Amino acid sequence: MGWANSTEVEATMMRLVPSQEELPSGSHSLSFYASPPEAARNMASFVRGARSRGQKALVLTDNDRMAELYRREISKEVPELSDAVRRISGPHARPSDQGLKLVEDATEFAAAHPEGATMCGDTIPSFLDRRTLPNILVYEDWFDSLRPFYHRGLCPYDLAHLPVDQVPRTFARLAHAHTHAVLSSDPNPGVRFLQLLILPYVENPPKENLGWLAQAVEYGLVDQERDAEAVDLTPRGENFARALMAMPDLANRADVAARNHRRGLPERAEGRSPRLFKPD
Protein backbone atom coordinates (compact mmCIF):
# COMPACT_ATOMS: atom_id res chain seq x y z
CA MET A 1 0.00 0.00 0.00
CA GLY A 2 3.00 2.32 0.21
CA TRP A 3 2.64 3.13 3.92
CA ALA A 4 6.37 3.73 4.44
CA ASN A 5 7.84 4.54 7.85
CA SER A 6 8.24 8.15 8.86
CA THR A 7 10.20 9.93 11.57
CA GLU A 8 8.66 13.41 11.15
CA VAL A 9 5.69 12.81 13.47
CA GLU A 10 6.20 11.36 16.92
CA ALA A 11 3.49 9.76 19.08
CA THR A 12 2.39 12.64 21.34
CA MET A 13 -0.89 14.39 22.18
CA MET A 14 -2.70 15.85 19.20
CA ARG A 15 -1.32 19.24 18.23
CA LEU A 16 -3.21 22.24 16.85
CA VAL A 17 -1.77 23.96 13.78
CA PRO A 18 -2.94 27.23 12.21
CA SER A 19 -3.69 25.89 8.74
CA GLN A 20 -4.05 22.71 6.73
CA GLU A 21 -1.05 23.76 4.62
CA GLU A 22 1.20 23.35 7.67
CA LEU A 23 0.22 19.74 8.42
CA PRO A 24 3.48 17.73 8.30
CA SER A 25 4.37 14.56 6.48
CA GLY A 26 3.48 11.51 8.54
CA SER A 27 0.40 13.18 10.01
CA HIS A 28 -3.15 11.88 10.33
CA SER A 29 -5.08 15.07 10.94
CA LEU A 30 -8.50 16.50 11.70
CA SER A 31 -9.97 19.52 9.96
CA PHE A 32 -13.17 21.10 11.26
CA TYR A 33 -15.50 23.25 9.16
CA ALA A 34 -19.07 24.53 9.33
CA SER A 35 -19.96 25.28 5.70
CA PRO A 36 -19.07 24.06 2.18
CA PRO A 37 -17.14 27.27 1.32
CA GLU A 38 -14.98 26.85 4.41
CA ALA A 39 -14.43 23.17 3.59
CA ALA A 40 -13.24 24.13 0.10
CA ARG A 41 -10.81 26.74 1.42
CA ASN A 42 -9.47 24.21 3.91
CA MET A 43 -8.92 21.65 1.16
CA ALA A 44 -7.09 24.14 -1.04
CA SER A 45 -4.82 24.94 1.90
CA PHE A 46 -4.14 21.24 2.45
CA VAL A 47 -3.23 20.71 -1.22
CA ARG A 48 -1.05 23.83 -1.13
CA GLY A 49 0.99 22.00 1.49
CA ALA A 50 1.59 19.20 -1.02
CA ARG A 51 3.22 21.64 -3.43
CA SER A 52 5.62 22.98 -0.80
CA ARG A 53 6.68 19.40 0.01
CA GLY A 54 6.99 18.28 -3.60
CA GLN A 55 4.16 15.76 -3.14
CA LYS A 56 1.32 14.62 -5.33
CA ALA A 57 -2.21 15.05 -3.97
CA LEU A 58 -5.42 13.02 -3.98
CA VAL A 59 -8.83 14.15 -2.69
CA LEU A 60 -11.64 11.59 -2.78
CA THR A 61 -15.23 12.76 -2.39
CA ASP A 62 -18.63 11.24 -3.08
CA ASN A 63 -20.35 14.63 -3.29
CA ASP A 64 -20.71 16.36 -6.66
CA ARG A 65 -21.08 19.84 -5.16
CA MET A 66 -18.01 19.44 -2.97
CA ALA A 67 -16.00 18.04 -5.87
CA GLU A 68 -16.79 21.18 -7.87
CA LEU A 69 -16.01 23.51 -4.94
CA TYR A 70 -12.73 21.71 -4.27
CA ARG A 71 -11.64 21.90 -7.89
CA ARG A 72 -12.50 25.60 -8.06
CA GLU A 73 -10.57 26.53 -4.92
CA ILE A 74 -7.59 24.29 -5.69
CA SER A 75 -7.40 25.66 -9.24
CA LYS A 76 -7.11 29.18 -7.83
CA GLU A 77 -4.56 28.29 -5.16
CA VAL A 78 -2.58 25.43 -6.70
CA PRO A 79 -3.48 25.17 -10.41
CA GLU A 80 -0.85 22.52 -11.10
CA LEU A 81 -2.66 20.15 -8.71
CA SER A 82 -6.22 20.91 -9.86
CA ASP A 83 -6.59 17.30 -11.01
CA ALA A 84 -6.22 16.03 -7.43
CA VAL A 85 -10.00 15.72 -6.88
CA ARG A 86 -11.68 12.42 -7.77
CA ARG A 87 -15.39 11.68 -7.49
CA ILE A 88 -16.11 8.21 -6.08
CA SER A 89 -19.32 6.38 -5.22
CA GLY A 90 -19.85 5.60 -1.56
CA PRO A 91 -17.40 5.78 1.35
CA HIS A 92 -13.63 5.71 0.84
CA ALA A 93 -13.18 2.86 3.35
CA ARG A 94 -15.29 -0.29 3.29
CA PRO A 95 -15.51 -3.59 5.20
CA SER A 96 -13.82 -6.67 3.76
CA ASP A 97 -12.93 -10.20 4.87
CA GLN A 98 -9.72 -8.73 6.32
CA GLY A 99 -11.51 -5.87 8.09
CA LEU A 100 -11.68 -2.28 6.87
CA LYS A 101 -10.05 -1.52 3.54
CA LEU A 102 -9.49 1.72 1.63
CA VAL A 103 -10.85 1.94 -1.90
CA GLU A 104 -8.42 1.11 -4.69
CA ASP A 105 -8.11 4.77 -5.70
CA ALA A 106 -6.43 5.42 -2.34
CA THR A 107 -4.31 2.27 -2.04
CA GLU A 108 -3.00 2.49 -5.59
CA PHE A 109 -2.17 6.18 -5.20
CA ALA A 110 -0.30 5.52 -1.93
CA ALA A 111 1.61 2.62 -3.52
CA ALA A 112 2.58 4.82 -6.47
CA HIS A 113 4.08 7.43 -4.13
CA PRO A 114 5.94 5.56 -1.37
CA GLU A 115 8.01 8.69 -0.72
CA GLY A 116 4.84 10.34 0.61
CA ALA A 117 1.68 11.90 -0.78
CA THR A 118 -1.01 14.32 0.37
CA MET A 119 -4.30 12.39 0.67
CA CYS A 120 -7.82 13.09 1.87
CA GLY A 121 -10.83 10.79 1.92
CA ASP A 122 -13.70 13.25 2.23
CA THR A 123 -16.73 10.98 2.39
CA ILE A 124 -17.30 10.91 6.16
CA PRO A 125 -19.61 13.99 6.17
CA SER A 126 -21.96 12.26 3.73
CA PHE A 127 -22.50 9.29 6.03
CA LEU A 128 -22.08 10.87 9.47
CA ASP A 129 -25.11 10.59 11.74
CA ARG A 130 -25.92 9.21 15.16
CA ARG A 131 -26.23 5.66 13.80
CA THR A 132 -22.97 5.57 11.84
CA LEU A 133 -20.80 7.58 14.23
CA PRO A 134 -19.52 4.52 16.20
CA ASN A 135 -18.35 2.82 12.99
CA ILE A 136 -16.66 6.02 11.82
CA LEU A 137 -14.72 6.21 15.07
CA VAL A 138 -13.64 2.58 14.62
CA TYR A 139 -12.41 3.53 11.13
CA GLU A 140 -10.39 6.44 12.54
CA ASP A 141 -8.70 4.14 15.07
CA TRP A 142 -7.95 1.63 12.31
CA PHE A 143 -6.48 4.20 9.94
CA ASP A 144 -4.31 5.65 12.68
CA SER A 145 -2.94 2.15 13.31
CA LEU A 146 -1.35 2.34 9.83
CA ARG A 147 1.11 4.94 11.06
CA PRO A 148 3.98 5.61 10.86
CA PHE A 149 3.99 6.59 7.19
CA TYR A 150 5.32 9.43 5.03
CA HIS A 151 1.90 10.54 3.77
CA ARG A 152 -0.19 13.50 4.90
CA GLY A 153 -3.70 12.27 5.71
CA LEU A 154 -6.65 14.60 6.36
CA CYS A 155 -10.11 13.84 7.82
CA PRO A 156 -12.59 16.74 7.42
CA TYR A 157 -15.52 16.94 9.85
CA ASP A 158 -18.60 19.14 9.43
CA LEU A 159 -19.34 20.61 12.87
CA ALA A 160 -22.78 21.74 11.72
CA HIS A 161 -23.89 18.09 11.41
CA LEU A 162 -22.29 16.41 14.42
CA PRO A 163 -24.93 15.30 16.97
CA VAL A 164 -24.40 17.87 19.73
CA ASP A 165 -24.80 15.44 22.62
CA GLN A 166 -22.14 13.18 21.08
CA VAL A 167 -19.55 15.91 20.52
CA PRO A 168 -17.60 15.55 23.82
CA ARG A 169 -17.09 11.78 23.51
CA THR A 170 -16.49 12.05 19.77
CA PHE A 171 -13.81 14.72 20.22
CA ALA A 172 -12.07 12.58 22.86
CA ARG A 173 -11.94 9.59 20.50
CA LEU A 174 -10.88 11.66 17.49
CA ALA A 175 -8.12 13.37 19.43
CA HIS A 176 -6.58 10.04 20.41
CA ALA A 177 -6.71 8.80 16.81
CA HIS A 178 -5.12 11.87 15.15
CA THR A 179 -1.79 13.64 15.33
CA HIS A 180 -2.86 17.18 14.42
CA ALA A 181 -5.99 19.32 14.08
CA VAL A 182 -7.02 22.58 12.45
CA LEU A 183 -10.01 24.33 14.03
CA SER A 184 -12.82 25.94 12.07
CA SER A 185 -12.60 29.70 11.68
CA ASP A 186 -16.37 30.07 11.25
CA PRO A 187 -17.59 33.00 13.38
CA ASN A 188 -20.75 31.26 14.59
CA PRO A 189 -20.58 31.21 18.42
CA GLY A 190 -21.91 27.64 18.46
CA VAL A 191 -18.92 26.49 16.42
CA ARG A 192 -16.55 28.37 18.73
CA PHE A 193 -18.27 26.93 21.79
CA LEU A 194 -18.18 23.29 20.63
CA GLN A 195 -14.52 23.51 19.65
CA LEU A 196 -13.64 24.37 23.25
CA LEU A 197 -14.42 20.75 24.09
CA ILE A 198 -11.35 19.47 22.25
CA LEU A 199 -8.89 21.64 24.18
CA PRO A 200 -8.21 19.16 27.03
CA TYR A 201 -6.97 16.63 24.48
CA VAL A 202 -4.46 18.83 22.62
CA GLU A 203 -0.82 19.50 23.38
CA ASN A 204 -0.93 23.25 22.75
CA PRO A 205 -4.38 24.71 23.62
CA PRO A 206 -4.54 28.48 23.01
CA LYS A 207 -4.50 30.37 26.30
CA GLU A 208 -7.44 32.59 25.30
CA ASN A 209 -9.57 29.56 24.45
CA LEU A 210 -8.75 27.93 27.77
CA GLY A 211 -10.16 31.06 29.38
CA TRP A 212 -13.39 30.60 27.44
CA LEU A 213 -13.54 26.96 28.51
CA ALA A 214 -13.11 27.96 32.14
CA GLN A 215 -16.01 30.40 31.77
CA ALA A 216 -18.17 27.69 30.21
CA VAL A 217 -17.45 25.49 33.23
CA GLU A 218 -18.19 28.37 35.61
CA TYR A 219 -21.55 29.04 33.98
CA GLY A 220 -22.62 25.42 34.17
CA LEU A 221 -22.43 24.71 30.43
CA VAL A 222 -19.51 22.27 30.58
CA ASP A 223 -18.69 19.70 33.23
CA GLN A 224 -14.99 19.19 33.93
CA GLU A 225 -13.75 17.43 37.03
CA ARG A 226 -10.71 18.96 38.64
CA ASP A 227 -7.46 17.45 37.35
CA ALA A 228 -9.46 15.32 34.88
CA GLU A 229 -8.82 15.30 31.15
CA ALA A 230 -12.38 14.58 30.09
CA VAL A 231 -15.04 17.24 29.61
CA ASP A 232 -18.75 16.89 28.93
CA LEU A 233 -21.68 19.12 28.10
CA THR A 234 -24.25 19.60 30.84
CA PRO A 235 -27.94 19.46 29.80
CA ARG A 236 -27.88 23.24 29.91
CA GLY A 237 -24.78 23.26 27.72
CA GLU A 238 -26.37 20.95 25.16
CA ASN A 239 -29.39 23.23 24.86
CA PHE A 240 -27.10 26.24 24.60
CA ALA A 241 -25.03 24.64 21.84
CA ARG A 242 -28.09 23.52 19.87
CA ALA A 243 -29.56 27.02 20.04
CA LEU A 244 -26.37 28.61 18.76
CA MET A 245 -25.80 26.02 16.02
CA ALA A 246 -29.39 26.47 14.84
CA MET A 247 -28.90 30.17 14.18
CA PRO A 248 -30.35 30.74 10.69
CA ASP A 249 -27.45 32.93 9.62
CA LEU A 250 -24.80 30.20 10.09
CA ALA A 251 -24.42 29.66 6.33
CA ASN A 252 -24.64 33.40 5.65
CA ARG A 253 -21.85 34.06 8.15
CA ALA A 254 -19.72 31.45 6.40
CA ASP A 255 -20.40 33.04 3.01
CA VAL A 256 -19.39 36.45 4.38
CA ALA A 257 -16.20 34.89 5.73
CA ALA A 258 -15.52 33.43 2.28
CA ARG A 259 -16.00 36.82 0.62
CA ASN A 260 -13.72 38.46 3.20
CA HIS A 261 -11.13 35.75 2.54
CA ARG A 262 -11.17 36.52 -1.17
CA ARG A 263 -10.86 40.27 -0.44
CA GLY A 264 -7.98 39.73 1.95
CA LEU A 265 -9.97 40.75 5.03
CA PRO A 266 -9.68 38.93 8.39
CA GLU A 267 -12.10 36.05 8.87
CA ARG A 268 -12.11 35.91 12.65
CA ALA A 269 -14.58 38.04 14.52
CA GLU A 270 -12.91 40.78 16.57
CA GLY A 271 -13.97 42.19 19.89
CA ARG A 272 -15.84 39.13 21.14
CA SER A 273 -17.76 39.88 24.31
CA PRO A 274 -16.54 38.20 27.52
CA ARG A 275 -20.23 37.56 28.25
CA LEU A 276 -20.48 35.07 25.39
CA PHE A 277 -21.12 32.09 27.65
CA LYS A 278 -22.95 33.96 30.41
CA PRO A 279 -26.64 32.98 30.64
CA ASP A 280 -29.19 35.77 30.75
Q: What's the pLDDT tens digit per position in 17-56?
A: 999 999 999 999 999 999 999 999 999 999 999 999 999 9
Higher pLDDT, 117 or 95: 117
Average pLDDT of the chain is 85
The whole-number pLDDT of residue 249 equals 56
Decide if pLDDT at 10 tops 70.
no
CA atoms within 13 A on the CB side of 187: 19
Cis peptide upstream of residue 148 (ω within 30 degrees of 0): yes
Domain residue limits, the chain? 15-187
Distance between CA atoms of residues 149 and 269, nearest Å? 37
The stretch 171-178 carries a mean pLDDT of: 96
Higher pLDDT, 270 or 62: 62
The pTM of the full predicted model, rounded to 2 decimals, is 0.82
The stretch 68-73 carries a mean pLDDT of: 96
206-223 as b/e: b if 16+ CB within 10 A:
eeebeebbebbbebebbb
DSSP 70-94: HHHHHHHH-GGGGGGEEE-SS-SEE
Decide if pLDDT at 254 tops 60.
no
Decide if pLDDT at 251 tops 60.
no
The stretch 144-164 carries a mean pLDDT of: 92
Under CATH, to which class is 15-187 assigned? Answer: alpha beta
Decide if pLDDT at 80 tops 90.
yes
The whole-number pLDDT of residue 225 equals 75
